[in-house]
Amino acid sequence: MPRRSRGCQECRNRRIGCDQSRPTCRQCAVTNRACSGAKLDTIIIDQTEAVTTRCQSRATGGTQRLARLPKVPSPRAIWLSYYVSRFIQFMSLHTGGPTMSPLLDELGAMPVNETSSTLKLSLYAVSAVYCGVAAHDQSLVSAAVEVYGRAIVQHHTAITQSALAPSITTISTTLLLSLFETVWPTGPNGYSWHMRAVQKLLALARVELASSQFMRQNAVHFQYQTLFTMVTTPEVDAAASWDSECWSDLCWFQLKQDQSTPNVSDRLTYQLFRLGEVFVQRSRNNSTINNTKVRVAEIMISIDKLWDDYQADLMAQDSTLPISSLKGVRYTNELTAMTVAHFAAAQIMASVLMTPRQEPVQLDEDAPLAFAYYFP
């Protein structure tokens, strides 16, 4: 029931507020009215069934007419979404052509659940640290490092407590953690440690590789990034034993349904890996220049044959490679450009390996914090 007023009769008749002063309230005094005075005796309220039912129905009806407000995300969630969007836009190639969705787009679109929470945490960390470094915002970088540490702990728990084969979420999380190391290194060997972990996880998930396109995208990323570390930091990778058989399997896993053998670009990737192995072997100082030249010459024979096969494929498709000009080279699609770039990279790698090497720069051998969980 509504609260009954104890104001004077004149104020109640005029439906205005009464200050309940006695003997005359303020409103009556101002308007020169005869004030009956505020009520001091007991007020009898009608609470019969008819009255209470009518009042309750009015209250319920008013509540039902209220619109349900949409859930508003917190300011932190809005900023995290902005960081992820900027990072994915920077890292992904969007050409509008008939290509598969970029890997980071797929990761960002994965729904959040119990198994993917660490993946989302890793994506938030690498996105925030990228935006922090780009904007020279040290506070944002510090916050990203804190999120990265939480992701490391959760990832460690997920790996040690699971007896199943590594899932796509586990492998993708490790790749995102490696990207964090490329933007904000926590130690000299951090990126390499993550790459070795991905190799071991992929070796345990070979069945999933054969059936999951998303898993194969992760494998391709691992191939190229591992090759990058083998060439740029062979001293760091000298202690690693990269699995040649795993690399060979990864090339075969790129098969399409209408193929009986890997295409030229996949076979070329494996030959680039073999050149990367020569870089690592040379950094161990147990490979003479003559032995290096013999191995490089053997690999380049295979690469030259692949070049002939590639040109034959182009002729079969009634296509040719573009001719260089002063204005640069234009390619009809990304695959052609990348394949030609890989052949050029092979020539550069062979040229470097044929040149007597200088003494390598000694790096700090201390393992970065939080990476020992991969190899206890």
Q: Percent of the chain scored above 90 by pLDDT?
A: 12
Count of domains observed in the chain: 2
Tell me if 322 sits within 8 A of 331, measured CB to CB: yes
Average pLDDT over residues 318-347: 70
Residue that is last in its domain, among 168, 187, 213: 213
Average pLDDT over residues 131-136: 91
Residues 140 and 207 occupy one common structural domain: yes
Please tell me which residue, 77 or 148, carries the higher pLDDT value: 148
Residue that is last in its domain, among 191, 213, 235: 213
Average pLDDT over residues 255-279: 72
Residues 119 and 201 occupy one common structural domain: yes
Q: What is the pLDDT of residue 373?
A: 36
Task: Give per-residue burial for 126-144: e unless 16+ CB within 10 Å, then b.
Answer: bbbbbbbeeeeeeebbebb
Task: Classify residue 318: in a domain, yes or no.
Answer: no
Mean pLDDT for the chain overall: 74
Q: What is the pLDDT of residue 374?
A: 37
Closest to 304 in 3D by CA, of 347, 336, 274: 347
Residues 197 and 82 occupy one common structural domain: yes
Q: What is the pLDDT of residue 68?
A: 67
Task: Classify residue 342: in a domain, yes or no.
Answer: no
Average pLDDT over residues 119-142: 91
Residues 199 and 126 occupy one common structural domain: yes
Q: What is the pLDDT of residue 298?
A: 92
Task: Classify residue 61: in a domain, yes or no.
Answer: no
pLDDT band at 376 (very low <50, low <70, confident <90, very high): very low
pLDDT band at 265 (very low <50, low <70, confident <90, very high): confident
Q: What is the pLDDT of residue 371?
A: 37
Please tell me which residue, 169 or 237, carries the higher pLDDT value: 169
Task: Classify residue 306: in a domain, yes or no.
Answer: no
Residues 154 and 83 occupy one common structural domain: yes
Per-residue pLDDT at 297 exceeds 60:
yes
Task: Classify residue 125: in a domain, yes or no.
Answer: yes
Task: Classify residue 50: in a domain, yes or no.
Answer: no
Residues 6 and 123 occupy one common structural domain: no
Residue that is last in its domain, among 213, 241, 260: 213
CATH number at residue 27: 4.10.240.10
Q: Report which secondary-structure segment, H or E, holds 211.
A: helix 206-211
Closest to 360 in 3D by CA, of 274, 282, 296: 282
Q: What is the pLDDT of residue 184?
A: 93
Per-residue pLDDT at 304 exceeds 90:
yes
Please tell me which residue, 35 or 323, carries the higher pLDDT value: 35
Per-residue pLDDT at 240 exceeds 70:
no
Domain range for 7 is 1-39
Per-residue pLDDT at 337 exceeds 70:
yes
Report the distance separating Cα 217 and Cα 110, nearest Å.
Answer: 15
Please tell me which residue, 92 or 37, carries the higher pLDDT value: 37
- DSSP string computed for 303-369: HHHHHHHHHHHHHHTT--PPPP-TT----SSHHHHHHHHHHHHHHHHHHHHHSPPPPPPPPP-PPPT
Task: Classify residue 284: in a domain, yes or no.
Answer: no
Closest to 295 in 3D by CA, of 353, 234, 218, 209: 353
Residues, the chain: 376
The model's pTM: 0.59
Residues 104 and 6 occupy one common structural domain: no
Residues 179 and 89 occupy one common structural domain: yes
Q: What is the pLDDT of residue 327?
A: 55
Amino acid at 250: L
